[in-house]
Structure 1
Amino acid sequence: MSTEPKKSLSNAEKQLRYRQRQQASGKKELRGYLTPEALSCYQDIQEKTQWNDSTILSNAIRLMYAAHKCGQIGLLNSWLTEHKR
């Protein structure tokens, strides 16, 4: 039996393992830069719902997909334009 100490993982290795576990569970990472208007909306949603970044993104995509399927994208875009959001 060997008593060699385990080599500790670097931050990059930990992040890689985390991403691999997320991918294995069927999740996909999506990231981007937010406009000031979108950041304001994001902060409003976060304050009201207490959701984390991942939940907000996931729900936003699901809502946009539902709006697309129901033919409501134009309605959503016009509301955002009218309310300067």
Structure 2
Amino acid sequence: MSDKSSANAEKQKRFRERQKALGNKQVRGYISPEAQSCYNEISQITGWTDSDILSNSLKITYAAYKCGQIKLLNAWLTKNMKEE
């Protein structure tokens, strides 16, 4: 392994260790414990897979964007933010 790829592997390893130390879990990226709680709740209620959750969240966000309702969506998400 070259020095450059070895250094990159070490950098990635340190990043993963930092994320674990912060309590974040990797789904498609690192998410906070609060986000993991929401993800688990969505998964239980809907029965959706990880791919379904990602796909449907993108569809909702895109629909809000196309209809000029991003501000409304953000306001709803802020209003309904979980308090833990």
Output the TM-score relative to the length of structure 2.
0.55
C-alpha RMSD over aligned residues: 1.6
Query: Are 2:47 and 1:41 equivalent residues in the alignment?
Result: no
Any stretches of 5+ residues in structure 1 without a counterpart?
1-30
Distance of 2:74 and 2:47 partners within structure 1: 25
Higher-strand-fraction structure: 2
Instruction: State the identity as a percent.
Output: 58
Where relative contact order (Cα < 8 A, 6+ residues apart) is larger, the structure is: 1
Between Structure 1 and Structure 2, how many residues are aligned?
55
Distance of 1:67 and 1:37 partners within structure 2: 24
Q: Could you tell me which of 53, 57, 62 is aligned with 2:59?
A: 62
CA displacement at 1:39 relative to structure 2? 2.1
- Equivalence for 2:70: 73
Output the TM-score relative to the length of structure 1.
0.55
Any stretches of 5+ residues in structure 2 without a counterpart?
1-27
Q: Which structure has the larger Rg over C-alpha atoms?
A: 1
